[in-house]
């Protein structure tokens, strides 16, 4: 077995037998890794803390050549993200970021940009409007995974530039007025909304967060991305459903 030492962020934790865990974490150079941590409960809370959801740590694991389930031996915490855990909203959104990342990525498929996206998003989550950060996270993640909606020109006739058009959830692309018949359910996008969506697609995350846009534009983009992801995934993620169920409660905080 090969021994690896790597920085990573925990995406998912599942109890395994009486005292062990199956942990899924995302690394900058090895991609998504799954492994077993043995004897966690027997050794107390200090060891268990290194394998909690959202934890950013340095891990040592033994790679099994004939299995995707490796043996994790040690964790040195770099950031527990306690500020996220102190609020229901932080826990809910961070859980969504982790579940969406886990859902879209494959085992042993390196994406350093996704690791950086997780780190940056967790850093901003306690201090930025969570719903806005979430839609930016979605856009950046699907871009890295090659799912990015086609927004540069009309998918059907290649007309450009298009200042406003119709967004097809089914096609994952923009249609012009003449080609809207390709998908009668395509949603109209005004010029201002399309411009912001394009900026969110191409600009750096921190630059996007510094920009200020009308609430109606942000809301429309959130609705479009939610519909796009649900269509591509074929389901609504559990963490997304939970966010919906506590939405009214979060407004009262």
pLDDT along the chain (253 residues), means of 10: 91 88 96 90 63 95 90 93 92 97 96 97 94 96 91 92 91 93 94 94 93 93 94 95 82 54
- 103, 237 in Cβ contact below 8 A? yes
- The CATH number of the domain covering residues in 101-251: 1.20.1440.120
- Alpha helices, DSSP H, located in 203-246: 205-210, 215-233, 238-245
- 81, 87 in Cβ contact below 8 A? no
Q: Which two tokens stand for residue 33?
A: 């890794």
- Separation CA 111–CA 178 (nearest Å): 38
What is the pLDDT, as a whole number, of residue 16?
A: 86
- Supply the angle between the helices 130-144 and 215-233 in degrees, to the nearest 10: 50
CB atoms under 10 Å from CB of 45, counted, come to 9
Closest CA to 5 of 23, 21, 29: 29
What is the pLDDT, as a whole number, of residue 241?
A: 93
Residue 240's contacts (CB-CB under 8 Å, 6 or more residues apart) are: 96, 99, 226
CATH 2.40.50.140 fits 2-80, yes or no: yes
Give the start-to-end residue ranges of the domains of the chain: 2-80, 101-251
Instruction: State how far the alpha carbon of 66 is from the alpha carbons of 1, 2, 25, 63, 70, in Å.
Output: 10, 12, 19, 9, 10
Q: How many C-alpha atoms does 128 have within 13 Å on its Cβ side?
A: 23
Rg value, the chain, Cα: 20
What is the pLDDT, as a whole number, of residue 161?
A: 81
Which residue(s) pair with 31 in the sheet? Answer: 27
What is the pLDDT, as a whole number, of residue 43?
A: 52
Q: Can you give the pTM of this predicted structure?
A: 0.93
């Amino acid at each position: 077995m090969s021994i690896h030492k790597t920085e990573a962020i925990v995406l998912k934790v599942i109890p395994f037998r009486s005292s062990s865990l199956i942990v899924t974490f995302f690394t900058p150079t090895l991609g998504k890794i799954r492994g077993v941590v043995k004897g966690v409960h027997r050794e107390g809370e200090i060891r268990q803390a290194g394998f909690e959801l959202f934890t950013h740590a340095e891990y040592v694991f033994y790679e099994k050549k004939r299995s995707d389930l490796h043996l994790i031996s040690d964790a040195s915490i770099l950031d527990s993200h306690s500020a996220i855990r102190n609020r229901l909203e932080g826990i809910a959104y961070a859980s969504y970021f982790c579940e969406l990342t886990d859902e879209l990525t494959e085992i042993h498929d390196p994406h350093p940009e996704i690791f950086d996206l997780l780190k940056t998003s967790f850093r901003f989550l306690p201090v930025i409007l969570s719903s806005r950060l979430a839609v930016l996270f979605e856009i950046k993640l699907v871009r890295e995974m090659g799912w990015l909606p086609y927004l540069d020109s009309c998918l059907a006739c290649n007309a450009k530039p298009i200042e406003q058009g119709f967004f097809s959830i089914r096609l994952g692309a923009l249609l012009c007025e003449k080609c809207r018949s390709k998908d009668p359910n395509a949603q109209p996008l005004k010029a201002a909304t399309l411009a912001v969506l394009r900026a969110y697609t191409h600009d750096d995350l921190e630059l996007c967060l510094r920009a200020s846009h009308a609430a109606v534009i942000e809301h429309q983009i959130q609705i479009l991305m939610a519909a796009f992801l649900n269509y591509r995934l074929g389901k609504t993620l559990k963490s997304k459903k939970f966010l919906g169920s506590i939405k009214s409660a979060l407004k009262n905080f």
